[in-house]
Chain A
């Protein structure tokens, strides 16, 4: 249910994101008198002011109201407020644990500093956005590695993990095509398929875009750098047969990521595939020299190895980084 307004907002966001990466680092709106607001511990929110604030004002619970951004009507109850001795920072402790994944809105009424009224402010408190992006990247790369925990892209994975050099070539080619096609499909999905309610065409559109980007990378590489093309050209065709490349756009479509988050997920998926290929090829080069029973030679032993890798990747599951 994407309204035109949200689409427009998304477009703005996308443009802003691409041209001003610094915006990523910003944490929402900044008010002049409030220097920073962040989560502190499981139940605390700390606010740093530009100047010393009045103690009587600062300790009054009625001056603050906190809510999750998606629930503007439900105010979280404040248990205690403490002021640092230098009167520059206030820590609000809530009665219950904060859901730190959600953005919180903190409204502060009539700040009083050195007897002067500095006005009211509304600030968004959320986790460091870059940290969130990194956690998407690491998530797709290791914690939810597409090969070992989602079991996608296996045909190509087992086909190209015999030698390290092949593995690296395939991994890099795949990552490039992955990022290119995921970004295109994100864009097309958000601005064409969804607003016009053409969701049902997503499979055709996504696979078409993948073929298109493969073709484009092929042509560009052939013209610009023939040496590189010789090294990587052979893998390009294989990319189409890899289900990860079609799974990522589908996941993006389901999860409402914005442009940068999508970029991170695609990059993570590509790098994760590269890591998986590299690990597997290292082991398979050694296995070549080992005495494997004839029935297990070739693919069967590779699958058993894949299973061992998958088991060890299960150890990462549930990890949260930031």
Chain B
């Protein structure tokens, strides 16, 4: 029982750190560049992705024995599309303000490679419980990545965090401009790489 629990927590942290969808796997980059201008956007889209990932993973893990191997991919697509529609409708109905902010990106979750990839590599081989934790980990990892980017961009670009005025002035408006998304992601990836290099060097010594 104990060993089992450890696996779950490992699965959970795997998504957040080792296989962070944005910085390590370099998947689902579009929203990371497109709408990571504020922390709030990151939280919102991250939550949406989290739900879609968890529901899709669980669905596939539950019905994996009934899926004919030849229609595997179409079934994944259908599952994801269904859950995306559900989330899309829910957001549009209950949090219209936030939904407006995210624009077309909620609907585009359907084309996020990360979700399909997790279904293909994980959910279709593992039981529901493990898939659930994997989904949560991946979703949180994505949310974390989006929030980190949002934090940098919002703080440097607007001088605010979550809409609250922190600095009182705008240090570098450049960061909130659309094109700066690329630079931010590039720099963040470089930081992750740097940490890895330093970590490996320490381990050797």
Contact = CB atoms under 8 A, between A and B. Distances in A.
Direct A–B contact present (CB less than 8 angstroms): yes
A297 B194 CA distance: 11
Contacts, number: 116
A204 B85 contact: yes
A310 B187 contact: no
Contacts of A201: 85
A258 B180 CA distance: 35
Given A295-B193, A304-B186, A158 B111 contact: no
A314 B174 CA distance: 13
Contacts of A302: 186
Contact of A203 (B81, B180, B187, B197): B81
B105 to A, nearest CB: 9
A106 B179 CA distance: 44
B178 A250 contact: no
A300 B81 contact: no
In the complex, which range does the number of interface residues on chain A fall in? 35 or more
Interface stretch (B9-17, B21-29, B134-142, B155-163): B21-29
Main secondary structure of the interface of A (DSSP, over half): helix
Contacts of B178: 149, 151, 310, 314
Contact of A207 (B26, B110, B180, B181): B110
B194 A153 contact: no
Contact of B190 (A155, A208, A245, A296): A296
B81 A204 contact: yes
Nearest to B33: A151
Contact of A246 (B78, B110, B186): B110
Contacts of A202: 107
Contacts of B112: 243
24 contacts: A152-B34, A152-B108, A154-B29, A154-B30, A155-B113, A200-B89, A203-B107, A204-B85, A207-B77, A211-B73, A240-B111, A242-B111, A243-B108, A246-B111, A251-B104, A295-B194, A295-B197, A296-B193, A300-B189, A303-B186, A304-B182, A307-B183, A310-B178, A314-B179
